[in-house]
Structure 1
Amino acid sequence: MDKPNLWTKDFFIVSLTNFFLYFIYFLLVASITAFTADKFHASTSMSGLAAGIFIIGMLFGRLYSGKYIDLIGWKKMLYIGIIFSIITILLYFTVINLSILLIVRFLHGIGFGIASTATGTIVSSVIPDERRGEGTGYYALSTTIASAIGPFFGIFINQHMGFKMNFVVCTVIIVLSFLSSLFLKVPKMEFNQEQLNNMKGFKLSNFFELKALPISIVSIFIGIAYSSILSYLNSYAQQIHLVDVASFFFIVYSIATLVSRPFTGRLFDLKGENFVMYPTFIIFAIGLLMVSHVHHGAMLLLSAVFIGPGYGTYLSSAQAIAVKVSPHDRMGLATSTFFMFADFGAGFGPFLLGLLIPVIGFSNLYVIMAIVVLAAAILYYFLHGRNKGCVTSLREETSR
């Protein structure tokens, strides 16, 4: 039997829209800590907060969109998130002190959280169940590619054209994101009266999909570990005099992920999630250990070869698991639940790690992060991995 088509027009458009959103996010987060320290003479932890408070805002955005996305409509929620993001990006031009910057970063995070939850939900609806792992993996490449070229452009623009030029670039990109979303055709979810009644009211189950919680909890620790790379790699590279090489780290990261993605997504569908997940924990941890012992540029770039497939494969596979184990009519809530927990780790990570760095140094930080990733693998086993054989897709059950 022929496999259902994955590469539809809508799959491509929602991936492109998501790429634009994440390009802006990675462009700013990779350079905001250095900007905050240089412009406002902020401490390491406050610079980390400037990067991380965006993620905290994102949590609020996902909390709102997770509850209302199925009621309002996936495409309408996407428009709300993008338009709100356009407004907040323009507010960056008004920043004159650290307090205003933190407020704008928080508001921008809300808009991004709403929009990116919508794209994640929409793509889950257009990916065939038989190609869940493969499709989610390819969709996640939009984030991976953005994570490569976003930081590269952010650091490059900051060094050669000034930080305000980043705001100009972000304004252009967010408008392109809105224009691309206009061409989306999104399937409309139909709900019976019982489902609509269950969505109303202030209940925990209206804000979180409980079936997606186990894999989401694991993602907190993976998010903390990756935040050490995203927020502090540039500062670490400055300390060891490898800042020029560091600007290419995410390029290598992206290439390594691109090479591995065609295999990991298919293995997820054919062999099951455990066959993919456990190696990703190990590979990610190896990459972090390599970063902790970097003494020359080649080794820094080699670490990206491990961190790319490690973290990138984990994120797409974990998202696929969250959707797979959840009911079909709660797909939007499952998506927002997963990203809320992953964002929680990535959001608080820079602030918490910023408190550790002056005490333990960068090298020891990355050793500790490798241990955190391995501990997350053990947690994954107890929360999901050991029960994987007994778990059937609730999407399949509810579609019968």
Structure 2
Amino acid sequence: MTTSPHVRTPAAELPSARPPLVTRPLLLRFVTVVGASASLFLLLSVVPLYATASGGDAGLATGALMLATVCGELATPRLVARFGYRWALAAGLVLLGAPALFVTAWGGMGWIVAVCCLRGLGFALTVVAGGALTASLIPAERRGEGLALAGVVSGVPSLIALPLGVWLADRYGFLPVSVAGGLLALAAVSVVPGIPGREPCPAKESAAGAEGRIGGGLRDGGLVRPAAVFTVTALGAGILVTFLPLAVPAAASGVVAAALFVQPAAATAARWFAGRLGDRRGPGRLVLPGLLLSAAGLLLTAATGSTAAVLCGVAVFGVGFGVAQNATLSLMYARVSAAGYGTVSALWNVGYDAGMGAGAVGFGALAALTGYPAAFALTAAAMLLPLRLARRP
């Protein structure tokens, strides 16, 4: 018996429409992303400049910020489990913004370090609690695309705020910039109550067990493998930001400025592409290409005397780094329940910050022995060590 062409297919058999990605709660969350990112990057180079102008150590200011950030990221999952995403996010924005208002109140290095430590803890809360909150607001079948969009939203303010802060400080002084940086984070607190979020539930947290704790995450190979690969790619990011201005001949300062724009721009675009592709074919398939492109880009950059090689190298690295960012984070979220989102966010962000810091410190020691071109080439080769992990993340 044949079926009439006019018979309708039951609604249950029709392919379901993709759930909406950009919702009001996600837009409110993006307001907090922009506030935190703009506040951090507006002062990221300005505070070290202020420390130097006050007779202090610029490196100590940045080091205190990054150390406090990593420590805060390790502690945040427990705070989230106890108090909830929204409380942690709001507290992070306050800690990021309020101390910035008073960074120029005293000029001593002790005061500057204290402000940087408080802001580092605040930023840790915003990225870990906020990252987990973002993941909870994105449909699972569109997670890669949603995380890519979140990356774009946080990346654009950083591209603008970093050079803008230095320009404003040079033109108007340190105080207006510090006040602006503080107010950007504090203003974002107002939207947090409108964001739906998972509130703490002791019974559920107890049942979640190790999945909701950072120690349990470190014992989970399904989380550690992609996190380790991403940490290695982050080494290259820390190296480029710190040493490219020193490695490229002084006469080519314009090349450095262009390169430091091309790399994050390429990473942002690649992160978006990887998110869409990962939703269709699985993020695990993109981890290896991300690692290989990152290493290849750093190898090309070894030709520091060639403008074309430097620009091409940072572009290739940016693409690989953006792919690795999205693929590893999407894969890690896919391997846990909602109770583990905070742990995933913490592990991934610790890998990011620790990788950048270790890359800068280690590369400096290596370059002192070999010179910059050889150090770039050797680091690119060393980035291939987790090749086995990247093949089966």
TM-score, shorter chain, exceeding 0.5: yes
Aligned equivalent of 1:144: 155
What are structure 2's unaligned runs of at least 5 residues? 1-15
28 and 281 in structure 1: CA distance in 2 versus 1, 3 angstrom threshold: farther
Deviation at 1:16, TM superposition (A): 3.4
SS at match of 1:280: helix
SS of the residue 2:232 aligns to: helix
Q: Deviations over 1:248-273 (max 9, x none)?
A: 43433344345434432121122222
How far 1:76 sits from its partner (Å)? 0.9
Cα distance, 1:329–1:187 mapped onto 2, change above 3 Å: same
Q: Per the alignment, in what secondary structure is the counterpart of residue 6 of structure 1?
A: coil
Q: Which residue of 2 aligns with 1:380?
A: 389
- Specify whether residues 362 and 97 from structure 1 end up closer, same or farther in structure 2 by C-alpha distance, changes over 3 A only: farther
Alignment of 1:322 with 2:332, yes or no, is: yes
Q: Report the counterpart of residue 391 of structure 1 in structure 2.
A: none
CA distance in 1, matches of 2:49, 2:252: 15
Q: How many residues align?
A: 376
Q: Which amino acid aligns with 1:228?
A: I
Name the structure 2 match of 1:193. Answer: 203
Counting only pairs closer than 5 Å after superposition, residues 1-400 of structure 1 correspond to structure 2 as: 1-30=16-45, 40=55, 42=57, 47-94=58-105, 96-157=107-168, 160-162=171-173, 166-182=177-193, 184-188=194-198, 191=201, 193=203, 195-196=205-206, 205=215, 210=220, 211-236=222-247, 240-295=250-305, 299-376=309-386, 378-381=387-390, 385-386=391-392
Residues 85 and 206 of structure 1, relative CA distance in 2, 3 Å threshold: farther
Q: Is the 8 A contact 1:48 1:354 kept in 2?
A: no
Quick one: distance in 2 between partners of 1:286 and 1:18? 31
Residues 228-250 of structure 1 show CA distances to partners (whole Å, capped at 9, x for unaligned) of 1223334445x533334433434
- Distance in structure 1 (CA, Å) of the matches to 2:46 and 2:255: 15
Relative to structure 1, the CA distance from residue 263 to residue 203 in structure 2 (aligned partners, 3 Å threshold; closer, same or farther) is closer
* Counterparts in 2 of 1:127 and 1:271: CA distance versus 1, 3 Å: same
CA distance in 2, matches of 1:81, 1:126: 19
CA gap of 1:312–1:197, structure 2 versus 1, over 3 A, is same
* CA distance in structure 2 between the partners assigned to 1:353 and 1:330 by the alignment: 34
Q: Provide the rounded CA distance (Å) in 2 between the counterparts of 1:162 and 1:243.
A: 25
Larger Rg: 2
Percent identity over the alignment?
19
C-alpha spacing 1:145/1:219, structure 2 compared with 1 (3 Å):
same
Q: Is the 8 A contact 1:31 1:158 kept in 2?
A: yes
Residues 148, 250 of structure 1: 8 Å contact kept: no
- TM-score, structure 2 normalization: 0.82
The answer to whether the 8 A contact 1:20-1:174 is kept is yes
The C-alpha deviation readout for 1:192-230, integer Å capped at 9, x for no partner, is: 726336669x98646857352222233332222211122
Give TM-score, length-normalised by structure 1: 0.81
Q: What is the alpha-carbon distance in structure 1 between the residues aligned to residue 219 and residue 37 of structure 2?
A: 24
* Bigger Cα displacement from structure 2, 33-42 vs 115-124: 33-42
Higher normalized contact order (CA 8 Å, seq sep 6+, divided by chain length) = 1
Rounded to whole Å, the distance in 2 between the matches of 1:72 and 1:311 is 33
Could you list the runs of 5+ residues in structure 1 that have no partner in the other structure?
389-400
Q: CA RMSD in A?
A: 3.2
